[in-house]
Structure 1
Amino acid sequence: MSKIGNDNLTDTRNQLVNEITLLSNDQFNWKLDEDSWSIAQICHHLVLVEEATLKAITWGLKAGEVTQVERKKIELLILDRTKKLIAPKIVEPDVDSFEIQQIMTLLNDSRKNLMTLLSTVEDKSILAKKSVKHPALGELSLDQWIEQIYLHEQRHIEQIKEIKGLF
């Protein structure tokens, strides 16, 4: 993985942490209505997406064939918040309340697990040569799976800022 990709993962996660750190648990778990997610649920969703991405990358690395796929402009789809994306069941957050520290631990653990996996990839160029089907974006190279993590977090950071503006 490139240093730029690593920097984007780090910078975006730091932005997310900055958005949630000073919230009370009531603010963290506040929902506009029953059909909306709380900030806590958004963060739990981000953890679940990162864990699912880790599984996809692991699976893709183990799959023997090199499969060149065309790079997609995933940032256009992910960052366009005028288009609502429906989360697959596997990455839907729990309906229970969360403590901020609990979510911080989950965020740290999922990122540590991702970085540990990526550190085991000796030839990082293989990440651009192998692919796995993404539920919303179609066939993606493994390096674009990594890219979608921080783009997806950026999308939800904007959502979090909007929710905070409603308190």
Structure 2
Amino acid sequence: MSNLVNDNLYETRNMLVKEIASLSYSQFNGRLGVNMWSIAQVCHHLVLVEQATIKAIAFGLKKVDNTQTERKNVHLILDRTKKFKAPEIVEPDVEPFEVQSIIDLLNDSRKKFLTFLSTIEDKSILAERSFKHPALGELPLDQWIEQIYLHEQRHTEQIKEIKILLTLT
């Protein structure tokens, strides 16, 4: 894994934690509407996506079909005018969360993600193998890694918006 990817994973996670660390329980769990996630739920979703990404990459590495998949513009994830429906497997719990427990979950999922990636001896295989992404279609495995921090950046912007809207309501 390149230093740039590692740096992006680190920086994006730090920005996210900085956004949520000082929130009160009610700010963290407050919802703007029945069909909208709280900041806590957005964060739980990010944990679930990181866990699901480990599984997706593991499945992709085991795939026998080695046809080269075309690279996608994963930066589309940052376009928040495009809405995506989260697959059920990465939908957050409806129960409220404590800020620190989410930070612990985020730290744990990132540690597991990086540990998993460190077990891949030949990193070049990540660009050669792919697995189907729910929003982007067949995606090379190295781009699955890239989408983790892009997806997190997308939701960090969403969290900033929710924080502003919560102060107005």
What is the TM-score normalised by the length of structure 2?
0.95
The aligned counterpart of 2:135 is 136
The separation in 1 between residues aligned to 2:78 and 2:148, in whole angstroms, is: 12
The separation in 1 between residues aligned to 2:125 and 2:5, in whole angstroms, is: 15
The aligned counterpart of 2:121 is 122
Structure 1 residues 63-104: Cα deviation after superposition (integer angstroms, max 9, x where no partner): 24433111111112x111111111011111010000011111
The equivalences for 1:82-121 within 5 A come to 82-121=81-120
The separation in 2 between residues aligned to 1:82 and 1:96, in whole angstroms, is: 28
Which ranges in structure 2 are unaligned for 5 or more consecutive residues? none
What is the TM-score normalised by the length of structure 1?
0.96
Question: Matched residues, percent identical?
Answer: 69
Runs of 4+ in structure 1 deviating by more than 4 angstroms, as ranges, are none
Q: CA deviation at 1:141?
A: 0.5
Which ranges in structure 1 are unaligned for 5 or more consecutive residues? none
Number of corresponding residues: 166
The separation in 1 between residues aligned to 2:125 and 2:67, in whole angstroms, is: 10
The separation in 1 between residues aligned to 2:2 and 2:70, in whole angstroms, is: 19
Q: CA deviation at 1:33?
A: 1.1
**RMSD over aligned Cα atoms:** 0.9
The separation in 2 between residues aligned to 1:79 and 1:51, in whole angstroms, is: 20
The separation in 2 between residues aligned to 1:6 and 1:127, in whole angstroms, is: 15
The aligned counterpart of 1:16 is 16
